[in-house]
């Protein structure tokens, strides 16, 4: 059996605590950011008479919410500006992926730069609205944004028909 003297045990607990504190603090800060983003999304929707029954946030910057009964879509992007879209005026929603080709050791590779949800309206002449889902200039890696864009496009398209 290993014998530990009290001084070693106390030092081990102190070092463990000192090592853990930044991770715990970061987790709490991120949890507050996510709650604030979700609250912002819900409050913007409620201001305009919508009740969100489905929501999703990611990267503590982006959020989507859907009021299925009144057919409204709420979006919050990296600028923290919330937008509410009346889906009764929407013809189609589709994910858009913007890529570029790079040459890597003689092989061409496609690199994903941006992902958007493109909202096309029924009103003639009204430009499609692009809702940013991912931007490579802000983040170096993907964390499921392609799946988020596909899932929400499908969800909204089903609601439109």
Residue 139 has pLDDT above 80, yes or no: yes
Q: Which of 67, 44, 43 is nearest to 55 (CA)?
A: 67
Residue 42 has pLDDT above 70, yes or no: yes
Model's pTM, two decimal places? 0.81
Rounded mean pLDDT, 102-126: 89
Looking at residue 81, its pLDDT comes to 80
The ranges assigned to domains in the chain are: 6-160
Q: What is the pLDDT of residues 70-113, one digit of tens each?
A: 999 999 888 878 888 999 999 999 999 998 888 878 888 888 89
Task: Find out whether 35 and 10 touch, Cβ atoms under 8 Å.
Answer: no
Looking at residue 28, its pLDDT comes to 93
């Amino acid at each position: 059996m290993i014998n530990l003297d009290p001084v070693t045990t106390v030092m081990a607990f102190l070092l463990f605590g000192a090592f853990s504190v930044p991770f715990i603090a970061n987790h709490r800060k991120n949890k507050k950011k996510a709650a604030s983003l979700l609250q912002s999304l819900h409050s913007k929707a409620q201001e305009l008479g919508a009740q969100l029954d489905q929501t999703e946030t990611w990267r503590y910057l982006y959020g989507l919410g859907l009021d299925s009964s009144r057919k409204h879509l709420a979006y919050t992007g990296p600028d923290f500006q919330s937008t509410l879209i009346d889906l009764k005026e929407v013809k189609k929603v589709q994910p858009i992926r913007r890529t570029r080709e790079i040459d890597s050791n003689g092989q061409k590779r496609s690199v994903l730069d941006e992902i958007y949800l493109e909202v096309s309206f029924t009103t003639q002449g009204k430009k499609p609205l692009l809702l940013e889902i991912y931007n490579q200039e802000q983040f170096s890696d993907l964390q499921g944004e392609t799946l988020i864009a596909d899932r929400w496009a499908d969800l909204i398209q089903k609601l439109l028909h």
